Chains A and B, each alone.
Chain A
Amino acid sequence: MSARLLLTILSLCCLLVSCSQEERQESRVGQHPVPEDALQLEVTGRVGGTLRYPMAGEPDTFNYLAAANARSRLLAYLTTATLLEFDAAEQEVVDGITSNHEIAPDGRTITLRFRKDLFFSDGTPFSADDVVYTLQRIYSSDSNNVVKDTLLFDGQPMGIRQSGRYEIQLVLPRPVGAIEYLLTNVPIFPRHLLEGRGERIEDYWTVDTPAGEMAGLGPFLIERHEPGLRTTLARNPHYWKIDRQGNRLPYLDRIVIEYIEDPNNQLLRLQAGQLDLIDQLLRPEDIEILKGQQGVEVLNAGASSNLTFLWFNLNPQVAPPKKNWFQDRRFREAVSRAIDREAIVANVFRGHATPALSLLPQSLKRWYAVGLPEASYGVVQAEALLREAGFRFTSDSGGRQLIGRDGNPVRFTLLIPSNEVISRTAAMVQEDLGAIGIGASIQQEEMRSVISRVTGTFDYDASIMNIEFPVDPADYLNLLLSSGPMHMWAPRQKEPATDWEARIDSLMQQQQIVFDHEERHAIFREVQMILAEQLPLIPLLNRDVLVAYRSDLNNLRPANIFPYSMWNVWELYRSPEN
């Protein structure tokens, strides 16, 4: 009797627990009706599933404002919404959390109207108060974040006016050509979680912050972080985008970001079905291994904005005769023409890169300029240019040798960061230069050491590096202004050393205040034209965006720029298992 009673009580308990769980599940859905003002996208898919995605290391922070590297930026992108959105596929600014925005004809006032009845991931209502609060904290005198710099114009902040529960106006001290693009980098923080806390806004939300203390407007929320292993993101039940049928996005229930540094480990895990998508970390040789593998698809999404380039040290400190060689435009063009980019692409990248002859690849369609002069491969032209510049060729038992006007054999050192791909690229450049009698010896150092030499001590001859180039001219100031710290060939000049650098300075200042896109494009085209003629940076190649993914992953449309396959993460979905 007592045993039967115990069994009955136990069964009742089990029933109660399962009912309450179902109720909780029901209420989770029921409590969050889709807002009327939700952003409807022309996509279809299926709710559910998990995406397992590798990154080469863990993020440093979960805070958008402190995210200084791609790993942290990706986590921030997945969990945070920004004032405007950047459509990475179309490469244009679009409305996201704003239902619309407009810029006054004088170009100084921008009105942002936010979608109504939205909620942060913790269920707290969102309003323009949160935006005003975030901007005020970004501008706070003690804050020291990079977004603050992009929002100061001639040292002046924007005026912030709240004109309703869901509307704000930003008043600029002067017209800013790239204002819409700059706003795509301004995150929205929840006022209710940060108000009253003493730290600077960029110091919140470190990787050990409990998940319950963070909330955002992004498609996912941080569920769990296991240091050195993985971060699990759960779908934001309050996300404000819906699909064609009115289902709330994102489709995926979870994203598990696995921190795996070793590329072999990643490859084996993808093959074993323990990873679903690899993009940034795939090696060209992996593509061949994965082709034909059952359940895995591979694709090449074309040239990325990651440019590998060579440049010469044009700082005044460089001693003759190297100074005379490097500063001669014809010498730089001859070097560019001596390099067989196709061969590098074929041998080093197995065809999975794109030879580059301009600063921007064709895939950066919004700013790429057509019809620029191209210093493409041609040994005959290279030799003609060198002869025209007063160089001559001799031959001895050691082979061909280029001799400068001063009688010195042309030899220099190519400083490169320790990176297998760059080192193989440099070896091929060395061989090509050897064919026109230039002796280039390769010196490999650790990345920070190379940067210190290039931007600090200037004790190098030439270098090869690869950098992720930005998508808007607004982000090129450090690189292109002669006073810029990243003006690789001769940084931090007090006065522009050459006329063409002075012209670039003037054009780059001009593009900052011009508002019309066509006009900005024309200005930036002239900048690209000068760079293509003068060749202070000799473009070599753009790496392709290589993607491998499980066949049941759908709606994948990798972009050529960061965050590559993850830019439309809310649309990705898994097919049902057969």
Chain B
Amino acid sequence: MLRFTLRRILESIPLLLLLSVLFFVLFQLIPGDYLTEMELNPSIPSERVEQLRQEYGLDDHLVVRYMKWAGQIVRGNLGYSFAQRRPAVDLILERLGGTLTLTVAALFVTLAMAIPLGTLSAVRAGHWPDHLSRAISLVGLSIPVLLSSVLFLFLAYQTGWFPIGGQEGLQSLVLPALTLALPSSAFLARTLRLELIDILNQPFMVALLSRGLPRRRLLYHAFRNAANPLISLTGLMVGGLLSGSVVVEKVFRWPGLGSLIVDSILTRDLFVALNSVLLAALLMIASNLIADLLLALNDPRIRYQ
């Protein structure tokens, strides 16, 4: 298991390197830089803008800029925020906690909604609980995150049960987590339903049932067999939750990495944008690694492949 874990970690390093080059090149392809908007300020002379551009190294060659950035990261320095004139790492760390909290909460809500819905739907396939559960999933899948965010915000205003956004304790986590979890839980519930129906109709399950195994035990075995795609999907879902959090963070005023990434890209705050995107990629890789480890634990065959 240790060898398997180490191998997967080592495999992630070239992927991260490749991603860093990709992010850097893509970022440079966007027209303009941090100082472009300053040129619109009638009071700032162009000489000052050019001086700042030199100071920030924005007029260096692309390769030089990449090497500087990569060199900084290797030395443990994530660079400097042009906008806030302070280390980029400080800004990122301020937001990382918010994003992790929201993602974990959304993941928890996703599983808490998807597993009962999917199971009920599979066990009572073709009956009204199945139809109801599929209808709920369909609604969850069809509502765009922006719309559900605004609807939940309005609900908070109308009922007064939840704060209208913000980060004021656990209560303010409920609606953003629910908004993020809606589409992913709908997708997961439908996948789980199909997997369970497929497994429950396998000959070995029919054999177990005919030998008098109680339905609860039967469901346990069906679950173990359906767990693999569920674990893989949950690992991949973290990426979806991270990207969905951009909208949710903005609407619910939840300071996290998503809004920091968007803002820093829009203002071309180079090091904050690049390092935040890289960190988001790292989180995605880490969640997939955890999913792989869980898969290996659940199904030992995977370790030997």
Contacts and interface: CB of A to CB of B under 8 A. Distances in A.
Partners in one complex: yes
Interface of A: 57, 60-61, 66, 68, 144, 146, 149-150, 202-203, 206-208, 227-229, 258-262, 264-265, 268-269, 271-272, 274, 445-449, 451-453, 455, 467, 469-470, 475-479, 484-486, 492
B99 to A, nearest CB: 11
Contacts of A478: 41-46
Given A228-B98, A446-B266, A262 B253 contact: yes
B51 interface: yes
Contact of B251 (A265, A447, A449): A265
Nearest to A453: B31
Contact of A227 (B30, B95, B263): B95
Given A146-B48, A268-B153, A451-B32, A467 B40 contact: yes
A485 B33 CA distance: 16
A268 B154 contact: yes
A476 B43 CA distance: 7
Nearest to A200: B85
B85 A66 contact: yes
B84 A207 contact: yes
B37 interface: yes
| Interface-central residue, A229, A274, A449, A484, by most chain B CB under 10 Å | A229
A66 B84 CA distance: 9
Interface string B67-88: 0000000000000000111100
Interface stretch (B9-17, B135-143, B162-170, B232-240): B162-170
23 contacts: A57-B263, A68-B41, A144-B51, A144-B55, A203-B85, A228-B255, A228-B259, A260-B253, A264-B251, A268-B153, A268-B157, A272-B157, A272-B160, A448-B31, A448-B33, A448-B37, A455-B36, A476-B42, A477-B42, A478-B43, A478-B44, A485-B45, A485-B46
Nearest to A146: B44
A448 B44 CA distance: 17
8 A-B pairs with least C-beta separation: A228-B255, A448-B32, A485-B46, A449-B31, A452-B31, A268-B157, A60-B83, A452-B32
Contact of B37 (A149, A451, A485): A451
A68 B81 CA distance: 14
B105 to A, nearest CB: 17
Given A60-B83, A227-B94, A261 B259 contact: yes
Given A61-B85, A261-B250, A452-B31, A149 B48 contact: yes
A470 B41 CA distance: 9
B84 A448 contact: no
B198 interface: no
Given A262-B153, A486-B41, 16 more contacts: A144-B48, A206-B86, A228-B255, A228-B256, A258-B253, A260-B253, A261-B259, A262-B165, A265-B252, A268-B157, A446-B30, A451-B32, A477-B42, A478-B42, A478-B44, A492-B46
Contacts of A469: 42
Contact of A228 (B33, B51, B52, B94): B94
A485 to B, nearest CB: 4
B268 interface: yes
Given A260-B165, A448-B37, A470 B55 contact: no
Contacts, number: 136
B90 interface: yes
Interface of B: 30-33, 36-46, 48-49, 51-52, 55, 83-86, 90-91, 94-95, 98, 150, 153-154, 156-157, 160, 164-167, 250-253, 255-256, 259, 263, 266, 268
A264 B32 CA distance: 30
B84 A485 contact: no
B154 A475 contact: no
Nearest to B154: A268
A258 B178 CA distance: 24
| Interface-central residue, B55, B153, B160, B268, by most chain A CB under 10 Å | B153
A60 B84 contact: yes
Given A150-B43, A261-B250, A208 B154 contact: no
B37 A268 contact: no
A479 B263 CA distance: 27
A304 to B, nearest CB: 16
A262 B39 contact: no
Nearest to A492: B46
Given A228-B255, A478-B44, A485 B39 contact: yes
Given A452-B36, A485-B46, A262 B250 contact: yes
A449 B46 contact: no
Contacts of B84: 60-61, 206-207
Contacts of B55: 144
A274 B30 CA distance: 39
Contacts of A475: 42-43
Contacts of A274: 164
Contact of A208 (B38, B52, B90): B90
| Interface-central residue, A149, A203, A268, by most chain B CB under 10 Å | A268
Contacts of A445: 31
B146 to A, nearest CB: 10
Given A144-B48, A268-B154, A259 B251 contact: no
B41 to A, nearest CB: 8
Contacts of A268: 153-154, 156-157, 164
A60 B85 contact: yes
A486 B31 CA distance: 18
Contacts of A455: 36, 39
Contacts of B94: 227-228
B253 A448 contact: no
Contacts of A269: 164-165
Contact of A229 (B154, B160, B251, B255): B255
A62 B46 CA distance: 24
A547 B293 CA distance: 56
A272 B166 CA distance: 14
Contacts of A227: 91, 94-95, 255
A256 B195 CA distance: 52
Contacts of A259: 253, 255
A259 B160 CA distance: 21
B36 A448 contact: yes
B69 to A, nearest CB: 20
B36 A479 contact: no
B31 A265 contact: no
Given A144-B55, A261-B253, A451 B39 contact: yes
A479 B55 CA distance: 25
Contact of A479 (B38, B42, B49, B256): B42
Contacts of A66: 85
A448 B30 contact: yes
Contacts of A477: 42
B42 A486 contact: yes
B268 A448 contact: yes
A264 B150 contact: yes
Contacts of B252: 262, 265
A202 B276 CA distance: 26
A157 to B, nearest CB: 15
B254 to A, nearest CB: 8
Nearest to A447: B37
B172 to A, nearest CB: 11
Contact of A271 (B32, B83, B157, B255): B157
A484 B165 CA distance: 44
A260 B254 CA distance: 9
Contacts of A261: 250, 253, 259
A261 B263 CA distance: 11
| Interface-central residue, B32, B90, B91, B263, by most chain A CB under 10 Å | B32
Contact of B39 (A61, A449, A486): A486
